Amino acid sequence: MYTGNMWIYRIIVLAVVVGLRLWMRQDWVGSLWLAVGWIIGMMLAEADHLFYVAVCNPQELTCQRVRREVQNKNWRNAWGILKATSGERVRLPIHNILTGLVVAVLGLWVVSSVGSVLASGVVVGLGVRLFTDFLSQDKKNWFWVFAREFGKREIDIIGGIWGLLLLISLIGLVR
């Protein structure tokens, strides 16, 4: 999985949202909880690889190597193997278009209805992480949950709708 400079963009979006929130509301504690939730949400996307290793495809050689390292309590090597081989895993349970759209709609609901800034941060942080991963990877791999092939135009339209939903959630966090 190529993530290149995406971490920089994710941090910039977080800094802009928190900065605007501080400037408009002067809410230091709420902004801190938002940032904590955002970071938790971004890290939740990594659970995809752990779930894949443990449940989805445990017979693969890479999955067996990771499980052996975990059994030996060698967490750093297990994580290194996961990161080095992340490009091999394309049918991930969280990294797909269906989950991305559900998280985007859930983000709208949480930001507009739930009073928890931490929960809003978790959902929007996960949404930003998934959307930036979507933008930086082969988009066709994200549609594996559907039985048919999607054309480039359809992928662009669905990606645009996802981006718009995420933008509305980001605006809701600032106001």
Tell me how far apart the alpha carbons of residues 39 and 37 are, in angstroms, rounded to a whole number: 5
Average pLDDT, the chain: 88
Of 52-66, 107-121, 149-163, least confident by mean pLDDT is: 52-66
In this predicted structure, what is the pLDDT of residue 23? Answer: 87
Taking residues 58-80, report their average pLDDT.
88
- Tell me the pLDDT tens digit for each residue of 5-27: 788 888 888 888 888 888 888 88
Tell me how far apart the alpha carbons of residues 175 and 171 are, in angstroms, rounded to a whole number: 6
pTM of the model: 0.85
**Is 58's pLDDT higher than 80?**
no
**Is 56's pLDDT higher than 80?**
no
Q: Which amino acid is at 101?
A: L
The pLDDT-based confidence of 4 (bands split at 50, 70, 90) is: low
CA angle (112, 118, 123) in 5-degree steps: 60
**Cβ–Cβ < 8 Å for 63, 52:** yes
H-helix segments, the chain: 6-25, 28-44, 47-51, 61-71, 75-84, 97-113, 117-136, 152-174
Taking residues 126-151, report their average pLDDT.
92
**Is 3's pLDDT higher than 60?**
no
